[in-house]
Amino acid sequence: MAKKILALFLLFGTPFLAPWKGEENHSNSLKKNVIFMVMDGTNADVITLARHYKGAPLALDSILTGGVKTYSSQSAITDSAAAASAMATGHKTLKDYIGMVPYQAADGKNRGRPVANIMEAAKAKGLATGIVATSPVQHATPAAFSSHTMSRHNMHEIGKQQAHQNIDILLGGGKRYSSVNEGRDVQIVRTKSELDKAKGKSLHGYFAEEEMAYDMDRKKLKPEQPSLADMTKKALGMLSSHPKGFFLFIEGSKVDYAGHKNDPVGMISEALAFDAAVEEALAFAKKHPNTLLIAVADHGNSGLTMGNKQTDQTYAETPAEMFVNPLKKASLTVTGAVSLLKKDRSNLEEVLHLYGLDGLEQRKIRKIRESRDIEKELVSLMAERAHLGFTTRGHSGEDVFLYSFGPKKPAGLINNTDLPTKVAAHLELDSLSELTNKLFIPAKDYYEKRGYETENNIKRDSDAVFVAKKGKTVIEYPANENKRKVNGREETLPGIVVFNGDTFWIPK
């Protein structure tokens, strides 16, 4: 008998033996967290240039693990809405669609139907959730992790959905699009000072009517606003106390804004601000071993290159200083500098100095003064001085870097639709497709099969209400909220009501 036991031990190893009580699946008993970070519109040369500008390694460098394909279902070059929807839901989709995939509706038009995202899956499991961004929090990328609409431009609608998604932490710009869920008691802050003092488990902060300032400009022009690193640290501190763990989405939004302007100073400002936020997130992940950190760009922008036609013959003899020294002369981004320009343009040379463009010839200054688009003139001159090239003022289609740290971290060259699968595996979330079937049921079909008469009461899409009537029972579902009324009595739903202009989708 002893020989048989010994033989089994040698064959199967120690796992054959039962673990001690209290030790079984000890690692699984620890709460699990995910920090999902996106630097919007950031290609490889932006990262390289930022590293040269800093003169030291980036926090991102230590967690580089692969690359990500970014194309959408209709184009080799994606927009932010389709890219973010892919990362949030696992579905490729169309331009402007937020958390939706296309289908042909009963009216014959192509419309979007909502699909569940990983933040909703985390919330369904009882985890805390948070969103941090330097754009309006209703902007395309954060919106795809928290709402469902056929157009990224429906920002008031997105804000209303976010208010009813029971998001614990919501920090960024977009005050003008924000909404309030009357049934929730949420602490609201407006400044860095108020953010620093805030305590508790639920916090919404709106630090600008639209987007927040570029980090370089913030220090001089908007010191009352927190940095992305400030917001990241606060969100992590508050979410870390949740007993079941959390899912936190963070976007460094404005590399993309600067890319659309071809402003290399703005791009560096925001790439370094994002890296500082990564440093905060990485420090947290190292202290909390069950935390998965993912950082990635959603797409490239501008086609920025270190090197242009000026360096056709000299690229082999062009040190890093040739690229970064002109940028370091700027104390404000082009947006920040031009915001200080007087209407009569009498202080133009002061503005040029703030953007690092001293010593220009008078003919160039006259040209700038007469220009209809001063920002465009300034960034063109800066690119020339810094030997930088730009191929577009739009997005670009290259693969982007993947950065990750922690258990079950993604690695290698993957698709953006693979990312939510990695998150779900780490957090042990339910299937997103199963959650979609629970959260988004066609209301008309559901109620008419049960003998109700139905109608869509539409003033405008954001105020639309689905109504089902049977006998003396009247049930109303207002769009973009997590509530319904049964004969006037309000009830809370496990998800939000989505209306795509034709069909209402309601949670089960």
pLDDT digits (tens, 9 = 90+) for 171-211: 999 999 999 898 889 999 999 999 999 998 899 999 999 99
Helix (H) or strand (E) holding 60: none
- What pLDDT shows up at residue 418? 98
Judge contact between 400 and 46, C-beta under 8 A.
no
Judge contact between 371 and 34, C-beta under 8 A.
no
Quick one: fold of 28-304+393-429? Alkaline Phosphatase, subunit A (3.40.720)
* Stated pTM of the model: 0.93
- What pLDDT shows up at residue 108? 85
| Both tokens assigned to 58 | 């980036």
Catalytic residues: 80
Average pLDDT, integer, range 384-402: 98
Spell out where 105-236 has E strands. 110-114, 128-136, 169-173, 187-189, 203-206
CATH class of segment(s) 440-506: alpha beta
Q: Helix (H, G, I), strand (E, B), or coil: what is residue 426?
A: helix
Q: How confident is the model at residue 22 (pLDDT cuts 50, 70, 90)?
A: very low
> Is pLDDT of 25 > 60?
no
- What pLDDT shows up at residue 261? 98
pLDDT in tens, 349-368: 999 999 999 999 999 999 99
What residues contact 346, with CB distance under 8 A and at least 6 apart? none
pLDDT in tens, 79-98: 999 999 999 999 999 999 99
- What pLDDT shows up at residue 29? 52
Q: How confident is the model at residue 459 (pLDDT cuts 50, 70, 90)?
A: confident
pLDDT in tens, 131-184: 999 999 999 999 999 999 999 999 999 999 999 999 999 999 999 999 989 888
Which residue bears the tokens 């939000």?
Answer: 496
> Is pLDDT of 1 > 50?
no
Is 440-506 in the same CATH topology as 28-304+393-429?
no
Q: How confident is the model at residue 9 (pLDDT cuts 50, 70, 90)?
A: very low
% of residues, the chain, pLDDT over 90: 90
Question: What are the sequence ranges of the domains in the chain?
Answer: 28-304+393-429, 319-388, 440-506
pLDDT in tens, 491-502: 999 999 999 999
> Is pLDDT of 348 > 70?
yes
Where helices occur in 177-214 by DSSP H, the ranges are 192-197
- What pLDDT shows up at residue 141? 98
What residues contact 81, with CB distance under 8 A and at least 6 apart? 93, 95, 96, 97, 98, 140, 143, 144, 152
pLDDT in tens, 366-376: 999 999 999 99
> Is pLDDT of 17 > 50?
no
β-pairing, 473-478 vs 465-470, is: antiparallel
